[in-house]
Structure 1
Amino acid sequence: MSENQYSPLTQTVVRTLTDKLYEKRKAAALEIEKQTKELIKSNNMADVEKIISVLEQLTTTPNGNMRKGGLIGLAATAIALGSKHSAIYAVKLLEPVFTCFLDHDSRVRYFACESLYNIVKVCRASVLVKFDELFNILWNLSSDPDQNVRNGSELLDRLVKEIVISTKSFDLQNLMVVIRERIYSVDSSNKRFIISWLFSILTVPDFSVSEYFPEVLDGVFKALEDPSPAVHEITISVLTEMQNKLDPKRSDNVKLEGVINVLVIQATSQVPIVRDIAIQWLNQMFRYMDRFFPVLLDLLSDPTDEVLMLDIILITDICGQPKQQQQLDIRSLKLGDELNQE
């Protein structure tokens, strides 16, 4: 780039911004932040856009230090724009950083995490227009081979979760589709990442997650089989939170038939803890027998022999209890004389 190509940045600032020493790059970034604030104050947004373009070009050069300089410069520009002006530039700030996560240099990926964190912190909900790409980046970073990159991505991940949780208009359905698609991941780090996202949205009162239980419950139970203690811990937390939401007083949107279908299958798992938790769930659901029993009857037409056999056993056990132990008056279900006799 020539001096004119750097404009409105000076060649000196760009040279310092792309120096191999981090402290020099940081000093140049502060200069860019100061200059951008002055341009905003004078309402010269055209030059602000030129600065963003110059920094974007730096992120695509073969020189690693120049790419790092472009990243820290974009973050500095976002900070200068602040919450008042950053929304309309969110996409322009994000896209060059996104590209750097494909970099083979782990230090570039690390600085991309740092840059993206600062941009997201300023832009907040404005970054959600790029949520799919952002989520995919976080997914890949969760299993990055470099520990420093993974550590940096965890801070970014927590920030994005915080923004999603506080955004009432967030597209929950889209996120649940992604979780459903990726919950069976073989990689423990990816699995922990996806389960942690499910836990985060389960804790938001304004998000109606219960209706998606049948779509993700099997994958959550499967995660219990993962050898990683971290995956096991977060999965137990998710199952506990999901179990609490089974109470009809808290939600009327739970699709019991799908949930029971999963539980019946998991109750035969070869993994003891999976069987134990599945049975705990089924035991809890007996308290809501007025909703639970008709679903069991519907499952008598299930095409799967294993599900059908376990369903018959459950119904037999319920109806075979001594009257003093029964938690259900079959007649209260108004099933009809023929079904009551059966």
Structure 2
Amino acid sequence: MKTSVFSPTVIRELTDKTYDRRKVAALEVESLVKQNKESREQVIDIIQELVNDFVYSDSPHAQCGGLISLAATAIALGASVAEYLDIVVPPILLCLDRRGRLADDKEQSVRNGREILDRIIKDIVYELAATYVSPYHHHDVEENRQQEQEEKKAFSLSKFIPILRRHVYTSNPFERIYVMSWISLLDSVPGLDLVWYLPDFLDGIIRYLTDTRHHIRANARLLLAQFFQEIQFISRQNEDEGVAMLQKQRTNNNNKDVFNNETTLVSSTQDDQQNKKARTTGTPVKQLQYDRIVDILIQHISSTKEEIQRTALQWMIEFIAAAKPVVIQFTPRIVHAVLPLLEHSVPTISSFAMEINRHLQKLVLNYSSTTQTIVNPVPSLSDPSTTTTLSPEKGITKKVSSEKPTITMTTKTTGGPILLRRAYRSDIGHNIMRPKNGELFDYSLTVTNLKLQFLNEHEQTRLASLEWLLLLHKKAPNKVLASMDSILSDLLKTLSDPSEEVVYRDLELLAQIANDSDDDGFYIFVKKLLLLFEKDKRLLESRGSLIIRQLCIHLDVEKMYFTMATILLQKDQDTRFASMMVQNLNIIMITSSEMNCLRKQLRSLDTKHGQQLFLTLFQSWSHNAIAAFSLSLIAQAYELASNMLQVFAELDITVNMLIQLDQLVQLLESPAFTYLRLQLLEPDRYPYLFKCLYGIFMLLPQSSAFSTLRSRLNSASSLGFLHVMPKRTN
């Protein structure tokens, strides 16, 4: 049995439950190390016994004794401790899993021991982590020399991050402060480039913003602000380099296509080349795991906590500028998360949401699938599912500072039970969008997510979704119309939206879709519109005129009316709806200035085109007697109209017909029938016109319309039109 390097007294006191006795024993260990400092074998024996017999012990008192003794050993060795880090660091890393739980241990001695060791380890990491190369670290001879240099570093982030990532989801306030203090320390080490591993703990730190304790929230804000500044620095540096590269390419070859002057990410081939250059020249590679960070931010944009939302939105604004090819992949999800916030009750949140929406629309508008930059995101080195061998130390040039981390530790204890630690969130940052068919932007998924916003309670959200669809359709109509049936149904339902502004924008999009459709697509659109009116007659009564007039502003009026008339001819089973629809179309045609061209075309009965148009409309307008009569007046087919009066005599004159006749008399005084009133001055040329008007006059009951028409006819009778009335021949 191997003899212990420690005396029985030291062994007994190192396992004592009293902190003071363990501290005295640790001082004895420090003296022993100093005495044997020149003997490497003796120091190794001391460290190994501390680790095996105390740190790895099941006794918590022995563990504390071992930890405080390792701290004393490090003090005794001073700078020489670097030679022994390969045997000191592993047990320390293991203790990191437990040390956070010691932060609020009931015994002050335990907490003191943890703080001493923690402070010493932090000092060692800060001074040596990114620079020292141990000559005692062994490698296989076939390994690359550059890899050897990287793997010999005194502190390995790739081994530390998984432990940190597990602890970041703790609910223990002391452990949260402890985690943030380590993150702040590692971020302050020049050349360590913790920002590369930001996705591994960003989600947890953002969640700290809702902690009930003010000092934890304040520390989390400060830590996030530090990383946000680093990201901004990276963004500006990449932008400057992108502009310089663009200028160089233009100088070398003015005939070649170049990337636009905004920030772009390098392809995977360029990544490999830059990584190789970084390993051989020491030049850091300015790279972030943009995709994982953006994925985390999207999840927090949908948070119910205002501060988390505000922070995620602010970060997203920066990433839209810094990582365009990555953000373009996440556009469907960003749109789905951001649009509901456009009308948020908190002005800052709504302002950030509007800015993101504006920048994202600009990004998509400028996106071209033919000149896209393909991004191959690099997996996290701390992800156990990956076998990548990339260096964890690659990243940006860090600011060199001699200052210690600004986030402070606290030893204040609080009562109450310790909450169960949250499970390790391995899913965060790994739900990454990938390009489909070589394209970064997914039109189909974006359209699907935009349609979901039609049901949002906020008007601005619904408007923004329609503006997005207008933009996408103008940019790539074929891709938006790939699912035309579905999108048409949703857009037509939106015509019942309580907001008129939403309806106007919806009609603009519907007209745009109909315009870009072929004849079959246009026919389907009109048929669906009429079907909507048939099912929702309240919509027809309240907004039918508005909808048709707005569509006719954007579409070919003649084509629109011709198509509707053709479809209404098939409405034999529901003649009531057909009559109602024709009545509405007829009034719109008479009263709307947008219909001037249609009315002129109908008066061209001397042309084949005019005849065909009138015949199609007349057949459909026959669903409503008064509408067909009005159409004949518009087309100046007065003889046909006068003949129709004979048919009216055989019909049961209903109240609805009398109301329509009353409306027609009022319309005769409108600008649309100016030509008709002037034709009353030429009774010899238009004798059937007088017969038509007198026929209406005879059908009307004595009302305001009756008086109006009588006044008009009396004015014309002074011309002696009776003398030129055509005589009936036998």
TM-score (normalizing by structure 2):
0.34
Deviations 1:37-87 (A, max 9, x none): xxxxxxxxx9xx754264664257788698676444323322333476465
Counterpart for residue 337 of structure 2:
310
Structure-2 residue corresponding to 1:260: 294
Contact 1:287–1:327 (Cα < 8 Å) also in 2: no
The CA distance in 1 between the partners of 2:28 and 2:120, in whole Å, is 21
- Structure 1 residue identity aligned to 2:92: F
Paired with 1:55 and 1:333, the residues of 2 have a C-alpha distance of 77
Which position in structure 1 is the counterpart of 2:648?
Answer: none
Q: Describe the shift of the 1:68–1:319 C-alpha distance in structure 2 as closer, same or farther (beyond 3 A).
A: closer
Partner residue, 1:88: 44
1:235 is the counterpart of 2:197: no
Aligned mates of 2:28, 2:89 — CA distance in 1? 22
Q: How does 1:4-83 map to 2 (within 5 A)?
A: 50-52=4-6, 54=8, 57-58=11-12, 70-82=25-37
Aligned partners of 2:294 and 2:319 also within 8 Å: no
Q: What are the superposed Cα offsets for residues 282-338 of structure 1, whole Å, 9 maximum, x if unpaired?
A: 2222432xx23x223322576xxxx661278888532546xxxx89954699338x9
- Residue 102 of structure 2 corresponds to residue 141 of structure 1: yes
Q: Letter of the 2:117 partner, please give it.
A: L
Amino acid at match of 1:205: P
Task: Report how far residue 120 of structure 1 moved.
Answer: 2.5
How far apart are the structure 1 equivalents of 2:361 and 2:55?
Answer: 61
Deviations 1:181-213 (A, max 9, x none): 111011111121112111111112221323322
Task: Label 1:62 to 1:268 Cα distance change in 2 as closer, same or farther (>3 A).
Answer: closer
Task: Select which of 183, 208, 232 maps to 2:193.
Answer: 208
Whether 1:155 and 2:116 are equivalent positions in the alignment is yes
Which of 207, 217, 241 pairs up with 2:202? 217
Tell me which moved more, 109-118 or 197-206. Answer: 109-118
Per the alignment, do residues 63 and 152 of structure 1 end up closer, same or farther by CA in structure 2, a change over 3 Å counting?
closer
Change (3 A) 1:258 1:311: farther
Task: Specify the SS of the correspondent of 1:52.
Answer: coil
Q: Distance in 1 between matches of 2:17 and 2:200?
A: 46
Deviation at 1:218, TM superposition (A): 0.8
Q: Classify the secondary structure of the residue corresponding to 2:297.
A: helix
8 A Cα contact 2:103 2:114, kept in partner: yes
Is the contact made by 1:201 and 1:207 (CA closer than 8 Å) also made in structure 2? yes
Counterpart of 2:129 in structure 1 is 167
Is structure 2 residue 311 aligned with structure 1 residue 277? yes
Note the C-alpha offset of 1:176: 0.5
1:93–1:119: 8 Å Cα contact kept in structure 2? no
Alpha-carbon distance change, 203 to 327 in structure 1, aligned in 2, over 3 angstroms: farther
Q: What are the Cα deviations for residues 133-189 of structure 1, in whole angstroms up to 9, with x where unaligned? A: 342343232221234432442232121012123223111111101111111011111
**Are positions 1:98 and 2:59 aligned together?**
no
Q: Looking at CA atoms only, which structure, 1 or 2, has the larger radius of gyration?
A: 2
Deviation at residue 260 of structure 1 after TM alignment: 0.9
Name the amino acid aligned to 2:49: K
Q: Distance in 2 between matches of 1:264 and 1:219?
A: 14
Q: Residue 79 of structure 1 contacts residue 118 of structure 1 at CA under 8 Å; is this kept in 2?
A: no
The answer as to whether partners of 1:72 and 1:111 remain within 8 angstroms in 2 is: no
**2:169 — aligned with what?**
184
8 Å CA contact 2:177–2:216 kept in 1: the answer is yes
For residues 236 and 144 of structure 1, what CA distance do their matches in structure 2 show? 27
Shift in Å, 1:130: 2.4
Contact 1:98 1:137 in 2 (8 A): no
Which one-letter code corresponds to 1:318 in the other structure? H
Look up the match of 1:26.
none
Is the partner of 1:184 in helix, strand or coil?
Answer: coil
**Match of residue 299, structure 1, among 326, 330, 335:** 330
**1:130 corresponds to 2:52:** no
Question: Separation in 2 of the partners of 1:153 and 1:60?
Answer: 15
Q: Is the 8 A contact 2:30 2:73 kept in 1?
A: yes
Give distance in 1, aligned partners of 2:205 and 2:115. 21
Amino acid at match of 1:238: L
Counterpart Cα distance in 2 of 1:308 and 1:81: 66
Deviations 1:88-130 (A, max 9, x none): 23222344442679446xxx88766654431232343322242
State the partner residue of 1:8.
none
Aligned length: 280
Instruction: Give the distance between the partners of 2:313 and 2:112, measured in 1 at CA.
Output: 37
* Further displaced range: 212-221 or 148-157: 148-157
TM-score, with structure 1 as normaliser = 0.67
Relative to structure 1, the CA distance from residue 96 to residue 119 in structure 2 (aligned partners, 3 Å threshold; closer, same or farther) is farther
2:334 counterpart of 1:334: no
Whole-Å Cα distance in 2 between the matches of residues 273 and 191 of structure 1? 18
Conservation of the 8 A alpha-carbon contact between 1:300 and 1:312:
no
Query: Structure 1 stretch 66-75 or stretch 203-212: which is displaced more?
Result: 66-75
Determine the C-alpha separation between the residues in 2 that align with 1:240 and 1:287: 18
Structure with more of its chain in helix, by fraction:
1
Output the CA distance in 1 between the equivalents of 2:38 and 2:178: 29
Contact 1:269 1:275 survives alignment (8 Å) = yes
Distance in 2, matches of 1:252 and 1:63, equals 50
In the aligned structure 2, how far is the partner of 1:295 from the partner of 1:73?
58
Instruction: Give the Cα–Cα distance (whole angstroms) in 2 for the partners of residues 153 and 63 of structure 1.
Output: 15
Counterpart residue number, 1:121: 75
In structure 2, the CA distance between the partners of 1:55 and 1:254, relative to structure 1 (3 Å rule), is: farther
